[in-house]
Every structure is written in structure tokens, then in C-alpha cells.
Amino acid sequence: MSNCKNCGAALPPDSIICTYCNTRVDIDLGDVNRYTIETPESERICPRCNIPLQTIDINFGDKFLIERCSSCMGLFFDLNELETLVDKSVANVYQIDYSRLGEIHQLKRHSDYPVTYIKCPVCRKLMNRLNFGFHSGVIIDKCKDHGIWLDGGELRQILEWTKAGGQIINERKQLEMERLKLQEERDKLRFQQGPLDGSSQFSNEKGFTISPYSHSESEIDLSDMFSRMNKFLSRFFK
Ligand SMILES: [Zn+2]
Ligand SMILES: [Zn+2]
Ligand SMILES: [Zn+2]
């Protein structure tokens, strides 16, 4: 639970707007000790407010530049930057806190905006809506060419989800999916090879089908014929 930086009141769990003084609170970078505003290399536009985004260096490890809207507190990360930030901020999580995950999942931080597709700050094409980590419940907006947009508050929710072990569940589910895919491919291969009970047939280059047992079958037929002939002839030579 976060508090309003202006009046100190508790913020609603699913919003960054204080219900008492209407201040929009930066809960994502509020804990970052210092960040510096840089000159942007190219202009990027906030998909919520249609104003230019600020480029800020959050001094994370080395220089770590992200874009932020000073009005709505939304953040834009270039491709793979968000994953790097999450990996570096949340390390050594080996346990899953299911009750905390349940709480985080319940939040569904959407009360600040209606559900709608928004434009990429770089190319202005509509972005895809994706569930971060497949199961976090945080719906992020992603342009496959440029990066990920997070509305104010979503970064904190993603970090809390990761801290509670959400990523571990995600990895386990991915592994299980890989295992099922492998099993499926193995079954398919087995089906193509045919059942291994000796009835499989092979085709030669000319396309004739040769049964591997055709030769021995004819031998059996021949010996069967001999034995019947012997029986037949023996009647005359008793
Ligand atoms: Zn307030
Ligand atoms: Zn904005
Ligand atoms: Zn784009």
C-alpha cells in the first residue's frame, strides 16, 4: 500500500490518483533515490496525454535511460529494458508467496483508464496488450519494434509480483509447456514411423512396396505345399 506524497492519505490499491487531494503520485520511481533528466535523442509522445515524454536516467547500475510522462507518470522502456530492470531489482527469489500473488492478481490496475489500445510513443502504431509474465494480471502495452509502455503504478505491481515468486510460477509453466510440446513431437514421430510390430512396409526407389517378410512368407507357402504333396503321394505308396 502506498501513500499520497502530497497529503499522506493511503492511495487506493488499484490507482495512483489520491482520492483526497486528487494528486497523481509517482509510486514507481518514488523509491529511486535520484534520477536525472536527459535530453532525448528523438521525441517520443505519451500515448495517454499526447505530450512529449521526458528521458530520465534512473542511474541503475550504469546509465539506464527510460522515458517518463511528467503528467500521467507512465513509463516507456526500449525492448528488453524492462526485463533487465526487473531481473536486476528483484534477485534471489526462490519461494512462491501464493497469498501475496493472489492479492496482486486481484488488483487489476485499470481503474485509471478505460480498456483501450494505445499508440506506440515512437511509431504511433497501436500497441498489443499483453499480460506481463503471462500470469501477473498486469496488462502491458507492447510495440514489437520499440518497447513496452507501463501506466503509472504498473512497474511497482510487476516488481511486487516478481518478488512474490510470480516469475517462478511462470518459468515452471513454461517448462511444463516445453515438456508437453516435446512429448507431442515424439508421439508424432512414432506415428510416422508406424507401429513396430513387423508389419511396416518399405518402398524402394521405383515406388514398389516390398514387405520385409514377403520372401519368408513364400518359403513357408512352399514348404506347406511340399508337406501337403507328401501326404497326398504317401497315400499311393503305402
Ligand atoms: Zn493526497
Ligand atoms: Zn502521460
Ligand atoms: Zn513502435
Span 24-48, pLDDT tens digits = 888 888 666 677 888 877 889 999 9
The answer to the question of residue 209 being in a domain is: no
The answer on pLDDT for 210 being more than 50 is no
Q: Name the domain count of the chain.
A: 1
Give pLDDT tens digits for 176-198.
Answer: 999 999 999 999 988 888 765 55
Q: What is the pLDDT of residue 214?
A: 46
Residue 80 CA to ligand 3 centre (angstroms): 14
Q: Find the domain containing 104 and state its range.
A: 36-172
Cα 156 to Cα 181: distance, rounded to the nearest angstrom: 34
C-alpha 171 – ligand 3 centre gap (Å): 28
Residue-wise pLDDT tens digits, 102-125: 888 777 665 678 889 999 999 999
**Ligand nearest, relative to CA of residue 9:** 1
The residue among 218 and 136 whose pLDDT is bigger is 136
Q: Is residue 192 part of a domain?
A: no
- The candidate with the shortest Cα–Cα distance to 32, out of 66, 6, 71, is 66
Are the C-beta atoms of residues 53 and 65 closer than 8 Å to each other? no
How confident is the model at residue 172, as a pLDDT? 87
Q: Where are the beta strands (DSSP E) in 99-181?
A: 128-131, 139-143, 147-150
Instruction: Report CA-CA distances (Å) from 83 to 26, 68, 86, 87, 202.
Output: 20, 17, 5, 6, 52
Residue 75: strand pairing partners:
68, 150
Does 85 reside within a domain? yes
5 confidence band (pLDDT: 50, 70, 90): confident
Helix axes 154-163, 98-107, angle to 10 degrees: 160
Averaged pLDDT of the chain:
82
134 occurs within a structural domain: yes
87 assigned to some structural domain: yes
The pTM score is 0.70
CB 48 within 8 A of CB 152: no
How much distance in Å is there from the Cα of 69 to the middle of ligand 2?
A: 5
Query: Residue 127 has what DSSP assignment?
Result: P
Grid cell 508406424 is found at: 194
Tell whether 63 is covered by a domain: yes
